[in-house]
Amino acid sequence: MTFGFAPSSAASTSASADLSAASANPLARMLEPSEWAAAGIPLLRNPREVVSGLHARHQPRPTTAVVAVLDPDERLCASASFTRRPAPADGWMFRNALLAQLRRVIPHDLRRRTPVRTAVLLYCRDGDARWTEEDGAWMWGLRDACTLHGLRCGAYITLTRDGWQVLGEGRAGRRPHAGSPPEALGASEAPPPLPRTGGAASEVLRRAAAR
């Protein structure tokens, strides 16, 4: 059963025409590097730690996408990985796939006035680190999925044989890369935060955990 207002026939015809035009032109559903850089995407404080942690947890291979949600302190709240279907790059299809994974692993934040958590996307693919139209479609899909799930749109990271790269920022590294074995999970992630009890004893525990 469907509830709502029925649009006029003219409006319905116009909307259908717009939808058909958009569906016929997947190139309209991608972002150029300049558009992405101008979108105010928040910078990762420690991109290598994020990349290494996701690589160790999901062990991606080419055509694997890993979407992760980070809290304001850049700690991992949830993540999911899936394999890209063999079809032309289309931001709308990527948006739907990302949104389905986000809905599966974490509740939405649509009730908040301002997004608190941030979603980042790591995509492992063949080829070199240069931007491709496929990357542009993933960027469009990530931005739209974040809007629909009440999240801030975060970094888009590619993982290739050359290493990893945060597109639009110029930050990159050689390891991990698309063919590297995964590190032990504990070696790539920071230890969980200790309870905030305060006092000298708490400081001693923090120092011990950092060793």
The DSSP result for 100-116, as a single string, is: HHHHHHS---TTSSS--
Give the model's confidence band at 183: pLDDT under 50 very low, under 70 low, under 90 confident, else very high.
confident
Is the model's pTM score more than 0.85? no
Average pLDDT of span 170-184: 87
The answer on pLDDT for 17 being more than 70 is: no
The answer on pLDDT for 6 being more than 80 is: no
**Who wins on pLDDT, 208 or 120?**
120
What residue ranges define each of the domains in the chain, with the CATH number in brackets?
A: 26-210 (3.40.140.10)
The answer on pLDDT for 176 being more than 50 is: yes
Distance CA 211, CA 196 (A): 19
pLDDT at 181: 86
pLDDT tens digits, 32-57: 999 998 888 999 999 999 999 999 99
Range with the lowest mean pLDDT among 84-98, 142-156, 168-182?
A: 168-182
pLDDT mean across residues, the chain: 81
Q: Angle of helix 91-105 relative to helix 133-149, nearest 10 degrees? A: 40
Token pair 């928040």 is at which residue?
42
Kindly tell me the burial class for residue 62, based on how many C-beta atoms sit within 10 Å of its own C-beta (0-12, 13-18, 19 or more). Answer: middle
DSSP-assigned letter for residue 67? E
The answer on pLDDT for 30 being more than 60 is: yes
Average pLDDT of span 136-147: 97
